[in-house]
Structure 1
Amino acid sequence: MKTVDLRSDTVTQPTPAMREAMMRAPLGDDVFGDDPTVNALQERIAAMLGKEAALFVPTGTQGNLIATMTHCQRGDEYIVGQFAHTYRWEGGGAAVLGSVQPQPLEHQGDGSLALKDIEAAIKPDDAHFARSRLLCLENTIGGKVLPMVYMAQAAELVRRRGLATHLDGARLFNASVKLGVPARDIAKHFDSVSVCFSKGLGAPVGSALVGPRDFIKQAHRARKMLGGGMRQAGVLAAAALHALEHHIDRLADDHALAQRLADGLQGITGVTVEPPQTNMVFVDVAGEKAQTLLPHLKSCGVLATGLYRLRFVTHLDVDAAGIDHAIRSFRDHFNA
């Protein structure tokens, strides 16, 4: 049986139709702003998210860093969750490269940040403190979907206090599908949004940063500074355009497969499965067999990660047969 790679939704291969779109893409030089496919992608994603403009960037990490550096200046501060990607998983870029201080907060059980904690973290206008300038949220966060009401409340709170808002929407379309609302209805609560094409949408490379036209003009300068200006980038933008046209609605299939996996792992002694909301299944394993589980799964052709918790991620290169094989392999380890 072929390898069932559940490490991340970033491991997908371009579909044949996506490869064909990449081959046929008209190209220019995006640094000069004349790659027609990049321009089409930027216009498309900006319109889909209800923003004035967009910037195609190589990675979500760069998109988030550009957003932070555009919203904030040296000595400013952004409020963020302890387990948010922009704080924990992006190498400290905002602090190291942007001289922007993070103010991390504890998450609630649903992945949100308590409104009272956000308000308490906003610093007074005093020379002793970094300037609170930005709230960064993430949706989905650890596979969880932030509720619409919560996002509206958080945005209203910080705007009243003079802060901007940025959404790390790497898996924004997973949230959109789960909530049953257009992605623009989520994006409207934020001044800027980053969205990733190379996760659930299945493109090989690329993200976009969207926001007001003047903001994106400033972000373009930051992208150049960070080495994100690409040339005939339309080859990659074509894959993202194809993904936007063909791979959004099918995210519901990934969510269903995650639920299938979670259901199949129920009832094993020493194994606790967190009910999935989207395409991520988190599993806690107690006892002696925890240390040998990942090697056993790998020997069966099933790949997962266990950086801080055991995580399985479904995507367009995984089907029901693969999920069932993963369940059998997992159970065999505990039945041996």
Structure 2
Amino acid sequence: MKNVFNTRQLGNTNLNISTLGFGAASMGNLYQPVSDEEAKNTLSSAIDIGINYFDTAPRYGAGLSERRVGDALRELPKQDYILSTKVGRLIKPDAKADVTQLRHGFATPMPFDAQYDYSYDGIMRSFEDSQQRLGLAEIDILLVHDLGRDTHGDRDSFYFMQFEQGGYRALDELKSSGQIKAIGLGVNEVEICKRAMNIGQFDCFLLAGRYSLLEQEPVNEFLPQCIANATSIILGGPYNSGILATGVRTNKTPFYNYNPAPKEVILKVDKIEQICLDHNVTLAAAALQFPLAHPAVASVIPGLGNAKRVAKTVQLFNEVIPCAFWQDLKSEQLLAENAPVPM
């Protein structure tokens, strides 16, 4: 029997996505191999449990995630799922690829590599290539992947100019023609979202890690700006690269923003963990549920690497958390005073 997840409207579109979504980076063998059978079982578990929103990207396993997600969704009625993938990289054959080693964080057997391209032609080519890899005629949401200084450093201005002068027009044409239903960015930084708002209208930003139980700076200006522009947030990375899932009271090195966590972050998480213990609340449940209290956030999409993780995530998502827990976090100044909390 399926869960009945609440859905929220994405921007001003007619898309209503489940508040718990499926981040499919793991389906591209993120950090470790996942067999085809395990990937199929993981995606089937998410479908069976009632998740209707799936996010993938060419980047994830050099096309492997898209192939697997497409295989899982292909036989479903289209009204049963909403799919996003990403543009900004073209996946090119690489005869010299060492598929026995991690490449860009993925243990993928796919002998391809990525080339950045945010131009008009690059966006159009990426969209068509994704349709082929997915084996699907329809993609609902197209997200521009990894624009911004965090990814491109000194090349940031060049790639943003590519997008501003051509790439955005491609997105606008695809949406206007009905080939896609929503456009946005898929990024890890707020600043690039603010810049993008100056060149066009976006239905959503898939923002990883920047609004979480650890970080609430966007609540002051950026999230209100999103509401004013009818731009929804799809919240990726709710565990901030793992530290809000594992906590800091284990023998393992806690990770934050893809690196070992700095001391000040460890100390803050330790204080949050203590309040979790005081209220018998699971840290990961609090991290998963917190962002959805903000009206700008339409969905939270943790990475889901196996069927057991899908089931556990739904359990965390549905865990009852007392109001006093959130009040204590604010009393201890561990949450921004103006950050909405679940009721």
Bin the TM-score by the shorter chain: 0.3 to 0.5
Structure scoring higher RCO (CA < 8 A, sep ≥ 6) equals 1
Please say which structure displays the higher CA radius of gyration: 1
State TM-score, norm by structure 2: 0.32
State TM-score, norm by structure 1: 0.32
